[in-house]
Structures are given as C-alpha cells and as structure tokens.
Amino acid sequence: MITKTLLNNRLVGTIIKLYRSFWFDYRLQDRITEARSSQSNISFPNEDVTLIVVAGNETDMQPWLGRLGDAAQKITEIIWLDPQIARAETAGEDSGRVKKLAWPDPARGRDLNRIIQQAKGSLIVLIDAQVEPSPNWLVNILSSFNSQATRYSLGQMQPVSIWRSLASHGQRWASLPFLGFAFRKQAWAQAGGLPGNIPLHPAWMIFSLRLKSLPGEWMRSSSAVACLRTKANPWLVMEQARQEGQIGLFGDSARKQFPYFCLSLLLILAGSALFFMQAFWQSAILVLCFSAVSALAGKLAVSETGESTTKLHPGQIFLIGLMAQLRVAGYLTGIFTQESMRSSLKKEHENILREIIEQKKNTKGIIVYLPTHDWGFMFQRPQQLARHFAQAGYLYFYCTINEHRDAVVGFQEVEPNLFVCSTPPETFSFIKQPIILIGSPWYAPMLDWFDNPLVIYDHYDDLEVSSARLEDHQRLMKDATLVLATSQVLFDAVKPDRPDALLCPNAVDYAFVQKMRPSISDPAPDELADFIQKGSPIIGYSGALANWFDYELVKGLAKSRPNWQFVLIGIDYDGSLEQSGLLECPNLHYLGWKPYQDLFKYVWRFSVAMIPFMINDITKATSPVKLFEFFACQKTVVATPMPECLRYPEVLVASDVETFASKIEQALECKDDPQLLNQLDAVARLNTWSVRVKQIEQELQVSRLNE
C-alpha cells in the first residue's frame, strides 16, 4: 500500500519522468563491433580523396595542413571551411586543389551536407581543425579503404591538456574520434547524411552512428593518432554534454553518474548554508564528504574507459569526478531544453516518414510500437509481433531505445513493411488514427501525441517486473481500444476492469524454427560437438537468466547427474548467474547469448529442454516464449509448476531435485517416440505468431464496431 501511494505521488512521478529521460529518451549507443585495421599493408587508396577541414576562428590553414606531411600532396581536393570569411564579401578562395570557403558560425548539419554533396572525392576525410594530426594520421586512416567493404574509418584521439584529458574521462572515449574520421561518399548518401537542423557536432556524432549501422565494415586504426588542442575550459565540457542531452546521446554515462551528482549538489548546498551560519567545522566535514563523492565519481568515470586508476594521482581522480559531474549538469540542461532539438529532428524525420507512407500506401494500416526492447537483442514477443503484423500486410514502425545492440537514427527497413526507428514519438502525430501497440505503461503519457489512435495495450509483464506506475497502467486499462494479456493470471487480473480483454499467450515462429532444423550431415556447433560425439545427454535451456531462475535446483541436478551435460544459453540479465556459483559445476556449460538466427542450431540438438523457474508472482504471470519454441523443435519440456506450463499435458512438471531428475529420465526415454514428437509438433502449429496476429486483428475489428 505504501508503494502504491508513493507511485501515485506527483513529486515522485516527476522524478520518475526525469529518470525516464536518462533511460529511454532516444539516446544512441555505440554498440557496433569494430574491426581493427591491419598495419601490415599501409598504403594510400587508389581513389580520389577530398579532405574537409572545419576550421576555428584562430586556426591558420597552411601551418595546419603542413602537419599532414607528404600525404597531403596525394589529396585530390582540400576544402577549408573558415568562419572568418564573411558571406557578404566573398565565397572564399579557390586555387584548384585547395578551396577556402565561407562557413557559418554556428554551423548545422545541413551546411556540411551541402559541402559533402559538392566534393569531388569518392572518399571523404572529415576533421575538425581543433584536432592536431600526427604526420602519418592521414595515410593510416585511409589505408583501410584498400578494402571495398570498408565504409568508415577512424583513428585514436589523445587529449593534450590536463583539462581535456579529465573531460574525456567523463564520457565514453568513442565520442572523441568523431572529430576526425573518413568515409565513402556513397555511405554518406546511404546513411542519409548528417541530421540537417541540429548543431554541427551532435549532427557529426549521429552521422557517425548512422555510418556504423550500414552493412559492411568499419575500422579503427591504432596508428592513426591525433591530439585535441583546444584551450582548457571545463565549460566546454558542459556545452558538449548539453548538446548530447538535447538529443539523448550517450545518456547511459550521465545516468550512472546521476546519484553522485545529486549527492554532491546536496553536500554543496548544505555546506554553503553551514558556512554562512559560521559553522565552519561542520562545513569542512561536508567539504571532505564532497571530495570523497567526487573521487568515487572519478573512479566510475575512469572505469567506463576500461582504464585503471592505479596510474592516476588522487587529485587527478578527484578532478575527473568533478568533470564527470559537470557533464551531468550539462546533460540535465540539455534534457530540459530538448524541445528545440526535438522539433528539428521531428521535422526532418517527418519528411522521411511521409515518403515511407507514400511508398507503402497499399497496406492494411499503420502500427507504431512504442520502445521497450532493442530490435537486435533478446528476440521475443515485441519483435515477433512486429514481423508477423508486417507479413500480414501492415506498415509497422518498431521504435527502439538503442540500449544494447541497436544503433538506429531515423528509420531503417529491416524487412518488407517493417521499419526499426529512433525518433521522437510526435513525429507520427500527423498520421490519422494509427494503431499504437504499447507494451509498457511507462509510455502511457506519449499517447497524447497521436491523432485519435487505436491503442492495443499488450500487458505481458507483472507490474513488479516493469516497475511501471500504477496510474499509467490504470490509464491504459481504461483508454485502450484492446487489452491483451499473455497469461491466465494476468487475464484474470484485468478481466474485472476489461471484460473484453483477449488472452493472447506467447507463441513461436514455426516456419523459421523448421527452416533452422539441421540435417544429419550438418555439423553441430563447436560448443556441443564433443557432447554429441560422446553420446552425453544434453539438458538445455535458452532464455534470460535472472533472479527468477532456480539456480539451486539446476545446481542440484548437475551434481546428482554428473554424466548429463547441462547447457544454458542466454544473457545473464541481472548478474545472478555469476553470483549463483552454478558455473563451478563441471558439467554445466554457459554458452552466453546467441543471436536469434543462430539460436535453434543449438536448441534442435538438446536431448531434453528445461524451464527451471522459481514459483513466485512474477513467474506465475509469465508465458514462456521458449515453451513453444521447444515444442516446435520437438523437445520434451521438464518445468517447474508454472501455471502456463501446467496448461499443456505434454510438459513434465517437477519441483524438487530428485523429481525433476526423474522427469528428465522419463523424457530421455521417450525423446524419439514418433507419437510424442507428432503431438509436440501439433501443439506448436496451433500456437504460432501468425495465429496470434489473426486473433488480435479479429478482436480489434470487434472493438472498432463496438465503439
């Protein structure tokens, strides 16, 4: 009752909304796997190269170009963008190979797009004149393009001043090389260029992420070394963070530092009050506490870079912490001034969206899924519904939060009629009566941005799992056109308020699973090959590993049956696997997370599948996706007595170690029984995502008629 009262408190609601800004607000994460360029074949590419230098007010062209060494002579075209040239006086200087052009201050992404469009080279090198390149920087950063697969290349950035070094520790190192990199002009066009209406450096960063999201390779050359040589000014750190906060870029770092920032702010206010009250000893104690908090913030900031604090002086760690907290202050300022930036992004994305809708105008309707999961991470219910609605003829926009695997800016078509997107939700506001599929009550306030939407509330988690606000859940229960419940427990809970709710459990992409069925001649994955060759039974699980997983049960099974091989596939969601001690069992094999397209190469080779969840309020409300995937792979399932598993007589149920082991033995004995295999296959065919989409379509039509 106390918790519900707090959740409904307006002050707490405001704090939660601020936290949402850190966690969800369209931030872009640099999660793409990079390839290191080989240093064995350093040579200048046999292509035309345009070097574009964005100069500052105090940068002289000739001395700066001289630092590039002899490599500068091989450049086809050099464009020097100089803010000191007044547009009214001249368009600049053009001496053939070297062009000195007027440049607005401040500049925006569209200004640089115009320059890139006119560039002669098929390869573009883009660098800020604040960066001082080493003599071999240009050759090293371009040598990667001897491979046609390379679309983007960057080097290593080394700050030269202590203030800049401290500032860089307060952010992810990945943001620094954005000030100097190379790319193919074709890739620039494929990525949609820089965002046109936002300031240059944020646009520069977003463009770099757009390049990385394209097919092909990107390279980081450790020999392409450059230094930042800006003046020492901590306020520049705040300004960069403010710009990042406006577009939600690199929010994860600010979110982690946020508790230290709040504690430091509280100590500063309290210390100032005590000082003015002449309580000098007490204020001195608070100053020491502030120093300790800053040191902790500094350690966290350094750890994010992958470096060790052992080589740093305590004073340096303290100053790094100060810089990190200045970044949080700047980021917060950016969040509170997001409206101008969001409106610019909205305008640009809205034009793209209108073009997409015009090209796809013969679809059944438009569905927008508000962001809860990355498209490329833990492929489950949200992604499956998206794919099958698109296959059923709808134009589907799957909004991502770019939290784990995605790096999407704007719109990216991943399958016919299916776009993964990262854009302000108000971008969709011009669409008349879209279908909004919302999986988390966190996003209930966003519904105000849509024009008379048909709302499908997909209630697939207990509120304890989603940490959702009760008032948001209640609003969706009241206002949604259709409410889905994934389990009988959730269905019974919503039925009094929504008697028209639809019980819509999870399901399986049966066609895809069958497509991944290995033939006799297909080699097993390396991690399983030895077990299969020795004939050892493989007892497998795939899915999230979290505090609802019964580690003690599996540990007991592994110890009691040393000849069985227990295989776990999935992400250690909350660190509970590592803390459980389960990995110490010699016949327990944790294979980590596997992409969805590779997962069933493993599942098909399980001897028996298991779902060993603890029984609590969370798991009672869970409809395990893996249950139907195991059925489609014709695997007998042994599970703990979860209500959704008890609905299927094909599942063998047990609660303790000995009974669970006995059920596994029973499953091993009948794992090749043709009648049982046909029965499992039939259950899977009745529970496909295509069937679920048809059910939702029918119920939505009924709901429309009843309005």
**Lowest-pLDDT range of 120-124, 320-324, 541-545, 595-599:** 320-324
pLDDT for res 198: 74
SS3 502: strand
pLDDT for res 252: 66
Residue at 428: amino acid letter: F
pLDDT for res 16: 41
Residue among 49, 571, 65, 19 at smallest CA distance from 251: 19
Q: Which helix (H) or strand (E) holds 59?
A: none
Confidence of residue 462 (pLDDT cuts 50, 70, 90): confident
Note every long-range contact of 381-386, with CB atoms under 8 Å and residues 24 or more positions apart, other chains counting: 381/439, 381/458, 381/460, 381/486, 381/506, 381/625, 382/439, 382/458, 383/596, 384/507, 384/509, 384/625, 384/689, 385/437, 385/458, 385/689, 385/692, 385/693, 386/418
C-alpha distances (whole Å) from 383 to each of 137, 155, 415, 418, 419 are 42, 35, 12, 10, 11
Q: Cα–Cα distance between 459 and 471 in angstroms, integer?
A: 14
C-alpha distances (whole Å) from 36 to each of 135, 140, 437, 558 are 20, 12, 41, 40
C-alpha distances (whole Å) from 207 to each of 191, 253, 562, 686 are 7, 20, 53, 45
Confidence of residue 416 (pLDDT cuts 50, 70, 90): very high
Q: Cα–Cα distance between 292 and 228 in angstroms, integer?
A: 30
- Mean pLDDT for all residues in the chain: 81
Q: Which stretches of 433-503 are DSSP H helices?
A: 463-466, 470-479, 488-494
**Lowest-pLDDT range of 38-42, 70-74, 183-187:** 38-42
C-alpha distances (whole Å) from 179 to each of 158, 182, 196, 203 are 12, 10, 18, 11
SS3 53: strand
* 638 neighbors 609 (Cβ within 8 angstroms): yes
Q: Between residues 88 and 119, which one has the greater pLDDT?
A: 119
**Lowest-pLDDT range of 242-246, 278-282, 366-370, 502-506:** 242-246
Q: Dump pLDDT digits (tens) for 194-224.
A: 887 777 877 877 787 777 766 666 666 666 6
- Output the furthest CA–CA distance in the chain (Å, rounded): 88
pLDDT for res 2: 35
Q: Between residues 44 and 483, which one has the greater pLDDT?
A: 483
Query: Highest mean pLDDT range out of 330-339, 503-512, 616-625, 694-703?
Result: 503-512
Note every long-range contact of 420-426, with CB atoms under 8 Å and residues 24 or more positions apart, other chains counting: 420/375, 421/349, 421/397, 422/26, 422/28, 422/371, 423/26, 423/345, 423/346, 423/349, 423/353, 423/399, 424/26, 424/342, 424/345, 424/346, 424/349, 425/368, 425/370, 425/399, 425/449, 425/450, 426/342, 426/346
pLDDT for res 307: 58
**Interior CA angle at 369 toward 701 and 350, to 5°?**
105
Residue at 367: amino acid letter: I
C-alpha distances (whole Å) from 307 to each of 259, 310, 642 are 22, 9, 45
Which domains are present in the chain? Answer: 35-232 (3.90.550.10), 251-336 (no CATH), 339-503 (3.40.50.11010), 510-687 (3.40.50.2000)
Tell me, what DSSP letter sits at residue 235?
Answer: H
Q: Cα–Cα distance between 403 and 373 in angstroms, integer?
A: 8
Q: Which residue has the tokens 């869970």?
A: 622
Q: Which helix (H) or strand (E) holds 6?
A: helix 2-7
Q: Cα–Cα distance between 94 and 101 in angstroms, integer?
A: 8
Residue 243's contacts (CB-CB under 8 Å, 6 or more residues apart) are: 199, 201, 202, 249, 334
Structure tokens at 401: 């939060």
Confidence of residue 623 (pLDDT cuts 50, 70, 90): very high
SS3 54: strand
Q: Dump pLDDT digits (tens) for 137-173.
A: 888 888 877 766 565 665 554 443 333 343 343 333 3
pLDDT for res 706: 63
Q: Cα–Cα distance between 156 and 154 in angstroms, integer?
A: 7
pLDDT for res 165: 40
- For the segment 101-123, the average pLDDT, to the nearest whole number, is 85
pLDDT for res 346: 76
Q: Is the pLDDT of residue 702 over 60?
A: yes
What is the share, in percent, of the chain residues with pLDDT greater than 90?
39
- For the segment 478-501, the average pLDDT, to the nearest whole number, is 94
Q: Dump pLDDT digits (tens) for 293-321.
A: 888 888 887 776 555 666 667 777 787 78
Q: Is the pLDDT of residue 571 over 80?
A: yes
pLDDT for res 175: 37
- For the segment 457-478, the average pLDDT, to the nearest whole number, is 81
**Lowest-pLDDT range of 53-57, 258-262, 305-309, 514-518:** 305-309
pLDDT for res 499: 94
The answer to whether the peptide bond before residue 518 is cis (omega within 30 degrees of 0) is: no
